[in-house]
């Protein structure tokens, strides 16, 4: 038991010990560095803000590569920069900034989108709902039905306030968009593609395929991967692994690793679980990544890494489109937690 007058010094000493004695590694999770007209998933950081964030990182902590996870370091405040999905702006926008500040990064790529004229389903749905729906619609969602049995109902619904997904009014386009993203998340790639095609048919428009929302090509991947920036695996089709059989998980994980190794002609030893929440991967998933020459697997729930942290469920901090000051405030809070 600690008496009241002693509590404050103990707290100060604990904070000092955390800051100065334990090696603690913060892993940052980014997706895109670009300017978007619309970003309902809040995936993009502007190039200006990313540049400010990297300046802060250089000043505030020791940026290290994910391949140096368990190396001995002199500093106790280490930070790793990671990107999920493999959008082509990781090469065109993020790479020059990372190189200017000499900050290592790992980009986890969904290999089934490389060299394909194909958007991720959340991007395709965004275009379908916000660009092609002239009259607001309500969709009756039933995951047990084939997409061909879905009914697109042209009812009037509430105002299109879609900027923030968390507080969009029920039945607004943003709300319907979010429902659809949730619906398609555990599905196979084939069923998702069928859904997008059918929805586009019912809305009488093309399946979206914007150059701004494409994953890198093979050639771009080869330009991205160098001594500073490493490419890692993120499944073939960006599937929610826990929703699929062990065989399908193995196919998605090892297939992605094989695809990327063929493109880059080197071993791929870094992995990140699509979505990364505790429910989106399971023991089977972790067992497959452990047995597959991967040295770590990134999750996507908050936390800070210490030497005892399981390297196959590494917590990461999502970074939003913050300016340098806001980013620094978050870094300080995360390290002090
Ligand atoms: Zn992802």
Q: How far apart are CA 73 and CA 76, in angstroms?
A: 8
Q: How does pLDDT run across 58-77, given as a tens digit for each residue?
A: 998 999 998 887 776 656 78
Q: Which residue has the higher pLDDT, 22 or 138?
A: 22
Ligand 1 center–CA 120 separation, angstroms: 9
Ligand 1 centroid from CA 84, angstroms: 5
Distance 153 CA to ligand 1 centre (A): 31
Ligand 1 geometric centre to CA of 237 (Å):
10
**Centre of ligand 1 from the C-alpha of residue 229, in Å:** 18
Q: Is a pLDDT exceeding 70 seen at residue 1?
A: no
**19 Cα to the center of ligand 1, angstroms:** 31
Distance 175 CA to ligand 1 centre (A): 21
Q: Which residue has better confidence, 10 or 102?
A: 102
Residue 265 pLDDT: 98
Q: Give residue-wise pLDDT tens across range 185-202.
A: 999 999 899 888 888 887
Q: Rounded mean pLDDT of 212-219?
A: 97
Ligand 1 centroid vs 85 CA: distance in angstroms?
5
How remote is the CA of residue 280 from the centroid of ligand 1, in Å?
11
pTM above 0.75, yes or no: yes
| Ligand 1 centroid, distance to 104 Cα (angstroms) | 19
Residue 45 CA to ligand 1 centre (angstroms): 16
In this prediction, residue 201 carries a pLDDT of 82
- Three-class SS of residue 157? coil
Is the Cα torsion angle 324, 329, 333, 335 positive or negative in sign? positive
Q: How far is the CA of 254 from the centre of ligand 1 (A)?
A: 16
Structure confidence by residue, pLDDT tens digits, 139-181: 544 555 555 555 554 443 333 333 344 455 555 667 677 878 8
Helical ranges in the chain per DSSP H: 4-20, 47-60, 89, 95-101, 121-131, 173-184, 189-203, 218-224, 246-264, 283-290, 324-336
Contacts of 214 (CB under 8 A, 6+ apart): 87, 88, 113, 117, 118, 119
32-49: burial string, b at 16+ Cβ within 10 Å, e else: bbbebeebbbebbbbbeb
Q: How far is the CA of 274 from the centre of ligand 1 (A)?
A: 4
Mean of pLDDT values over 270-278: 97
Q: How many A from CA of 214 to the centre of ligand 1?
A: 13
pLDDT digits (tens, 9 = 90+) for 227-253: 999 999 999 999 999 999 999 999 999
Pick the CATH number of 34-75+85-96+107-117+212-307+315-320 from 3.40.920.10, 1.10.3720.10, 3.40.50.10330, 3.20.20.370: 3.20.20.370
Residue 76 has a pLDDT of 73
Q: What is the location of CATH 3.20.20.370 in the chain? A: 34-75+85-96+107-117+212-307+315-320
Task: Give me ligand 1 centre to Cα 236, in Å.
Answer: 11
């Amino acid at each position: 038991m600690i008496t009241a007058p002693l509590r404050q010094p103990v707290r100060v000493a604990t904070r000092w010990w955390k800051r100065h004695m334990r090696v603690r590694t913060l892993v940052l999770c980014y997706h895109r560095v670009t300017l978007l007209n619309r970003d309902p998933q809040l995936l993009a950081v502007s190039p200006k803000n990313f540049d400010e964030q990297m300046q802060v990182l250089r000043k505030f902590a020791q940026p290290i590569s994910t391949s140096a996870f368990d190396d001995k370091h002199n500093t106790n405040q280490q930070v790793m920069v990671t990107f999920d999905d493999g959008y082509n702006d990781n090469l065109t926008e993020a790479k020059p900034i990372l190189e200017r500040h000499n900050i290592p990064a790992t980009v986890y790529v969904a290999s089934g989108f490389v060299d394909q004229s194909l958007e991720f389903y959340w991007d395709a749905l965004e275009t379908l709902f916000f660009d092609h729906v002239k009259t607001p619609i309500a969709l009756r969602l039933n995951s047990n039905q084939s997409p061909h049995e879905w009914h697109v109902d042209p009812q009037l619904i509430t105002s299109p306030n879609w900027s923030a997904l968390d507080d969009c009014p029920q039945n607004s386009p943003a709300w319907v968009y979010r429902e659809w993203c949730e619906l398609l998340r555990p599905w196979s790639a084939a069923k998702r593609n069928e859904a997008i095609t059918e929805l586009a048919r019912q809305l009488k428009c093309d399946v979206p395929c914007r150059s701004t929302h494409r994953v890198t090509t093979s050639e771009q991947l080869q330009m991205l991967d160098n001594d500073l920036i490493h490419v890692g695996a993120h499944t073939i089709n960006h599937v929610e692994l826990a929703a699929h059989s062990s065989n399908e998980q193995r196919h998605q994980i090892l297939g992605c690793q094989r695809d990327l190794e063929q493109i880059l002609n080197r071993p791929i030893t870094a992995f990140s679980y699509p979505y990364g929440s505790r429910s989106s991967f399971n023991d089977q998933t972790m067992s497959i990544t452990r047995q597959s020459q991967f040295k770590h697997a990134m999750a996507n729930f908050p936390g800070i890494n210490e030497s005892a942290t399981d390297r196959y469920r590494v917590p990461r901090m999502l970074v939003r489109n913050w300016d340098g000051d806001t980013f620094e405030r978050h870094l300080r809070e995360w390290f002090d937690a």
